[in-house]
């Protein structure tokens, strides 16, 4: 049974994470101060240290949490899906759908890598490589089976991820196309492109 004080502390910590994410998105890591963060959650600046060690630690927590959530959700989306074509289709569907609804997290994850200290940055890069490897393995399996035309596994992996992740820079919920239509277009681009336009 959790004590009330502990429960309140957990809620405060979550409020700090949410406010920190929003402020970093709006102002950038360098532009956000701990005073800004404390004010956003109604705390005295010194009280923040009851919940976060440093501003850098907060950024690392936000980015690593995003990468772990992303990878766990991908693994769930791929569970039970057999065959490289079906798995590639599931990957594209998942990646685009996930990123369409998490613009703030994705922006901070990508734009603030430069703000991470070397050890923290390497830890995040390892998580990113693990995610990328899931797509690379699907492409390699499809190429080996003769189902996909993949001229270079790493370059194709990075190219696909750049294309799919790019939706966060231009998609607007009030725009001309609904989310499922955006997903369907990307599925056709990737699957038809790697199968030579059809098949």
Question: Could you read off the pLDDT of 20-36 as tens digits, one per residue?
Answer: 999 999 999 999 999 99
Burial 148-158 (b: 16+ CB within 10 A, else e): bebeeeeebbe
CATH 3.90.230.10 fits 1-52, yes or no: no
The structure tokens 């685009």 sit at 96
What are the residue ranges spanned by the domains of the chain? Answer: 1-52, 54-194
| DSSP H or E segment with residue 142 | helix 118-144
CATH architecture of the domain formed by 54-194: Orthogonal Bundle (1.10)
Q: pTM score, two decimals?
A: 0.87
Which residues are within 8 A (CB) of 5 and not within 5 positions of it... i.e. 6 or more apart? Answer: none
Question: Could you read off the pLDDT of 86-113 as tens digits, one per residue?
Answer: 999 999 999 999 999 999 999 999 999 9
Please, are residues 195 and 147 in contact by the beta-carbon 8 Å criterion? yes
> Encoding tokens for residue 163?
């294309």
Please, which pLDDT band fits residue 142 given cuts at 50, 70 and 90?
very high
């Amino acid at each position: 049974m959790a004590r009330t004080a502990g429960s309140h502390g957990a809620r405060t910590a979550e409020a700090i994470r949410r406010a920190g994410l929003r402020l970093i998105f709006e102002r950038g890591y360098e532009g956000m101060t701990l005073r800004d963060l404390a004010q956003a959650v109604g705390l005295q600046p010194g009280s923040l240290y009851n919940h976060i060690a440093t501003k850098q630690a907060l950024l690392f927590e936000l980015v690593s949490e995003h990468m772990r959530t992303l990878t766990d959700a991908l693994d769930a989306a791929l569970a039970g899906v057999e065959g490289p074509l079906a798995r590639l289709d599931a990957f594209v569907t998942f990646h685009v759908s996930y990123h369409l609804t998490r613009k703030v997290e994705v922006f901070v994850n990508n734009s603030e890598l430069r703000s991470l200290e070397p050890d923290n940055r390497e830890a995040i890069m390892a998580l990113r490589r693990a995610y990328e490897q899931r797509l690379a393995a699907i492409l390699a399996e499809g190429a080996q089976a003769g189902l996909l035309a993949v001229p270079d596994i790493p370059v194709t992996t990075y190219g696909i991820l750049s294309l799919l992740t790019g939706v966060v820079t231009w998609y607007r919920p009030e725009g001309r196309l609904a989310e499922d239509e955006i997903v369907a277009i990307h599925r056709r681009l990737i699957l038809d492109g790697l199968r030579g336009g059809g098949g």
